[in-house]
Amino acid sequence: MNFAQFLVNLAFLIDNSLRYQRIKRFFRNLLENDDYPYKKYFDYFMIFLILTSVVIIIEEVKTPIAKWLYYYDVYFVTGVFIIEYLLRLWVYNDVHKIIIAEYEESLFLERPFDMRRVLKDIAKKKLEYIFSPLAIIDLLAILPSYRELRILRIFVLFRVFKLLRYSQNITHFFQVLASKKIELFTLLMLVAFTILVSGISIYVFEERSNPNINTLYDAFYWALVTISTVGYGDISPTTHEGRAITMIIILVGVGLISFATSIIVSAFSEKLSEIRENRIIHTARRLDDYYIICGYTHMARLLAKRFKREGVDFLIIDYDEHAVQQALAEGYLAICEDATQKDAFRHINFDNVKAVMALTNSDMHNIYICLNIRSFSKECFIISRAVDYSSHKKLKLAGANYIISPYVTAGFFAAKIIDEPIAIEAINDILIARKNALCEQVEVIKGSFLDGAKVGDIDFDRFKLILLGIVRIDEKAPSEEFRYKFLFNPDEDELLAAGDILIVMGYTISLAHFKSQVVESSLHHGKKS
């Protein structure tokens, strides 16, 4: 078997190895994936190593350091840096895929396997990483460990630059500047041309009469200091021509600084919303059991106020920039995205989402939101608003679990308030939590004092609560429509079971006390068993 055949066999072996893929995926996530939960701990560890190594090298300039610090820096820190550099080189691309691609192409075209082409592609990809700016910084950051060459200690600066990998704020800053690279390059060329012209001019006029300007380097140094409006004063023109040039250069310098400031300010103003949105998304990823509200409408505003009052986490998504700005001003997490598009949920982990609420003013928009969410998650609970009653069936088919019809509800209230105004007022007080009156659900937890008890055995009067009914879930129901069974005003002999949901009414303090008693009795029963 020749070397080419050996490489092909090895490439297919690696490609089919789940263990190899799992290990490589782990290191790729650890080094590059900001969403990976363990990456932040690795970043903290690397920042600690960088800062301690810099302190050790700076301290060693004047005073000898302890032997254990020397070993720590030379062997441990440098060893970690070398391992990290090699791992980044490894995970940058998949070499075995290049070999397999060439092998399959050679079979398809019925030509010999081109080993030189494979090695060239592999080298090209690896060199692409090696000569990238951050990889060069990683490599140069290793050099200060070799004390024998004292000149290499200057590369301690690259250990500081290495922090760029682990600080998102600094990375965002350079990304903002990179977005204006054409403008900044133009500015740099203009500055270089101005320094060149002014430096040569001052050298011609001042070289013989000014003892501080002896070389072109002195002239260029003066030009740079003057154009930046710093003006150290160590070199001053003595001739009339030199002073005239100085005045012109100062005016040009003020203009160039204004130009640079406007470029940077415009770059940040353009990217600020994107940076803020990324931070909000990162904050949302760290939440557990939160809600997503699509559309910051009047109904969404009422819901957001209720969530904020009860300490419930939620994220608002709206395509209207003005609505998003209003939500942000009110202290909510909000991003400007179109919830009907896949990009709106590309960073959302639906395992942590408790429910999604489509509350826009358009039924068609809500239908597309439901379809979009269902493309990401089949299990996520979706509540949708329906303006037109005829949209109920479409929303159900789109994947909505529950549909709210505010106009139908408002019509019902308007009809009833004429005949039964006091009763409707009481219901309204409960729904909007006026005077702390609430109607909430309490789950029967396994092992709690509710589990296996009869309704008549529970002293709701002692808890200052009123039982309205029981929601029982039938797992064997033929469809979602018949899964929930509601028992209104149940008999005293009705047995409760784990999983049942009690619909109770009372004050906030009474409900909180009742829920805590249910949880505590369940925990107490668990300890006994």
Q: Write the pLDDT tens digit of every residue in 506-528.
A: 777 888 888 888 888 888 766 56
What pLDDT band is residue 67 in, cutting at 50, 70 and 90?
A: confident
Residue 371 pLDDT:
92
Residue 162 pLDDT > 80 = no
Distance of CA 4 to the CA centre of its chain: 44
What percent of the chain stands above pLDDT 70?
Answer: 84
Q: Is the pLDDT of residue 398 over 60?
A: yes
Distance, CA of 20 to CA of 23 (rounded, Å): 5
Q: What's the confidence (pLDDT) of residue 149?
A: 46
Return the HEC string of 287-302: CCCEEEEECCCHHHHH
Rounded distance between C-alpha atoms, residue 304 and residue 293, angstroms: 8
pLDDT tops 70 at residue 151: no
Identify the residue with better confidence: 74 or 529. 74
Task: Kindly state the helix (H) or strand (E) to which residue 485 belongs, with its residue range.
Answer: strand 484-488
Instruction: Place 229 in a pLDDT band, splitting at 50, 70 and 90.
Output: confident
- Distance CA(291)–CA(302), nearest Å, equals 14
Give whole-number Cα distances, 290 to 287, 296, 367, 381, in Å.
6, 17, 22, 12
Name which of 189-193, 243-247, 280-284 the model is least confident about: 280-284
Which range is least confidently modeled, 51-60, 222-231, 420-429?
420-429
Query: Is 197 in contact with 203 (CB distance < 8 Å)?
Result: no
Tokens representing 50 are 């960088």
- For the residues 443-470, what does the mean pLDDT come to? 87
148 pLDDT more than 80: no
Q: Exposed (0-12), middle (13-18) or buried (19+): which is 334, by Cβ within 10 Å?
A: buried
Helix (H, G, I), strand (E, B), or coil: what is residue 372? helix
Q: Worst-scoring range by mean pLDDT, 62-66, 71-75, 415-419?
A: 415-419
**Which segment, 27-36, 369-378, 463-472, is predicted with the most confidence on average?**
369-378
For residue 87, pLDDT over 90 is answered with: yes
Over range 222-247, report the average pLDDT: 84
Q: What is the pLDDT of residue 526?
A: 63
Rounded distance between C-alpha atoms, residue 336 and residue 344, angstroms: 9
pLDDT surpasses 80 at 90: yes
Residue 434 pLDDT more than 50? yes
List the single range of 63-72, 349-358, 423-432 with lowest mean pLDDT.
423-432
Which range among 222-236, 292-306, 321-335 shows the weakest confidence by mean pLDDT? 222-236
| Whether residue 435 has pLDDT greater than 70 | no
- Phi then psi for residue 340, to 5 deg, are -85, -10
Distance CA 415, CA 427 (A): 14
